[in-house]
């Protein structure tokens, strides 16, 4: 990253960035770091205080005389609305400007009921969670959806998967109720962002793999989310495996790892083998009971996932692969099989320091990632400066 100069640090947005990061916590710090004059610092800090983004604390340590006033980012100066949608489960929340959840709600809904059903439910839930809070406090909206997303436009591109969502521009629909910036990304990208920022902030390269109703991945490369040219990066669920048996995938191809090793595939194969399983919890019970056929099916799913991940590890060389989703979290044998194949089939250099770890945040990574995504956007120096200029005009 190029070295920042005093000229680039001259705006109120950049001053807020320094206060948020802790690089400067007093006016004297700001003057020293930015090279701004005392009146210029005072002007910018005054704008941020008036906007409610910064507060003053008279508890900074003193080196003699009156203690300096400490400047602190005001996380209570607004909220963001976030939603982490899964294929069958969704969590909706209101977070403060530090990404901390203030109120939330879980509910089961099949997203394939379509946007005409799901989006009004989200909007009504946000309204309910906001309660008496002024709607002007809402600074942005962040959503993760289980579909390929053209990130720049917030447009879902699911084709045969989630067909009712194909071509839906989500931001304009949300802005009819909440006229603020709306960011939409793939659900696993949101999980990757949340896990990276919350657990592995010091690592620049991470891959989050969700094994649940479906299989997908989110990739952190060089410290940021890798979306690709249009948002299709990380679609490992539609990489074919060898000897998959010709299973037709929802995408139209055959033997995609999603079609042979996801939670949906496990339930299908075990039912075909005569097992009475309706949910992943039923499969977990059979695994814990030591049912040999179920254990073998789960291990085979892990090997197939590991086969795909080995190729991804060779290409991306992550420091850590994080395994999340209810299937990965429920089955130790599946995770063991994934590890075995990845370490055996990836190159020695790519696996020399590779860690394969379970998600520490679980489903909470989705909400956290959505909050980080929208906060990084609406609190960026450029966005803050634009907002201040618009308010002054």
Portions of the chain given CATH number 3.30.420.40: 79-190+366-379, 200-363
70-76, Cβ contacts within 8 angstroms, sequence gap of 24 or more: 70/25, 70/26, 71/19, 71/24, 71/25, 71/26, 71/27, 71/30, 71/45, 72/19, 72/25, 73/16, 73/19, 73/20, 73/97, 73/98, 75/100
CATH 1.10.10.10, applies to 12-73: yes
**What's the pLDDT at 10?**
76
pLDDT digits (tens, 9 = 90+) for 216-257: 999 999 999 999 988 889 999 999 998 888 998 888 899 999
List the beta strands (DSSP E) in 97-167: 101-108, 138-145, 149-150, 155-156
- Strand partners of residue 219: 207
Rounded CA-CA distance 377/238 in Å is 30
Range(s) for CATH 1.10.10.10 in the chain?
12-73
Query: Residues 73-104: pLDDT tens digits?
Result: 999 999 999 999 988 789 999 999 999 999 99
Topology of 200-363 in CATH? Nucleotidyltransferase; domain 5 (3.30.420)
| pLDDT tens digits, 337-387 | 999 999 999 999 999 999 999 999 998 999 999 999 999 999 999 999 998
Q: What is the mean pLDDT of the chain?
A: 91
Fold of 79-190+366-379: Nucleotidyltransferase; domain 5 (3.30.420)
The answer, yes or no, to whether residue 206 has pLDDT greater than 90, is yes
On the question of pLDDT at 109 being above 70, the answer is yes
């Amino acid at each position: 990253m190029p070295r920042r100069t005093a000229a680039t640090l001259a705006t109120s947005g950049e001053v807020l960035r320094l206060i948020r990061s802790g690089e400067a916590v007093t006016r004297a710090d700001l003057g020293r770091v930015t090279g701004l004059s005392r009146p210029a610092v005072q002007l910018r800090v005054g704008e941020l205080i008036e906007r409610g983004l910064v507060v003053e604390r008279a508890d900074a340590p003193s080196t003699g005389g009156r203690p300096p006033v400490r400047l602190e980012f005001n996380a209570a100066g607004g909220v963001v609305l976030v939603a982490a949608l899964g294929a069958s489960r969704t969590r909706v929340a209101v977070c403060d400007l530090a990404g901390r959840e203030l109120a939330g709600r879980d509910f089961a809904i099949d997203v394939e009921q379509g946007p005409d059903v799901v989006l009004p439910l989200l909007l009504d839930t946000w309204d309910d969670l906001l309660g008496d809070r002024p709607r002007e406090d809402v600074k942005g909206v962040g959503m993760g959806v289980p579909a390929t997303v053209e990130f720049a436009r917030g447009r879902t591109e699911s084709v045969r998967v989630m067909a009712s969502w194909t071509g839906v521009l989500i931001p304009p629909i949300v802005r009819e109720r909440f006229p603020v910036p709306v960011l939409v990304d793939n659900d696993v990208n949101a999980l990757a962002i949340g896990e990276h920022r919350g657990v592995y902030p010091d690592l620049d390269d991470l891959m989050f793999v969700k094994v649940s109703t479906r299989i997908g991945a989110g990739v952190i490369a060089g410290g940021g989310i890798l979306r690709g040219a249009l948002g299709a990066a990380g679609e490992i669920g539609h990489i074919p495996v060898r000897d998959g048996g010709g299973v037709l995938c929802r995408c139209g191809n055959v033997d995609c790892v999603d079609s042979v090793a996801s939670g949906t595939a496990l339930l299908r194969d075990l039912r075909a083998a005569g097992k009475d399983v309706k949910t992943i919890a039923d499969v977990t019970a059979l695994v814990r009971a030591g049912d040999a056929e179920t254990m073998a099916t789960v291990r085979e799913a892990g090997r197939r996932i590991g086969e795909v991940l080995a190729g991804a590890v060779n290409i991306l060389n992550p420091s850590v692969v994080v395994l999340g989703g209810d299937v990965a979290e429920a089955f130790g044998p599946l995770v063991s099989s994934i590890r075995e194949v990845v370490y055996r089939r990836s190159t020695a250099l790519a696996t020399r320091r590779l860690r394969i770890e379970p998600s520490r945040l679980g489903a909470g990574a989705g909400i956290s990632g959505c909050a980080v995504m929208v906060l990084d956007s609406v609190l960026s120096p450029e966005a803050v400066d634009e907002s201040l200029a618009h308010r002054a005009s």
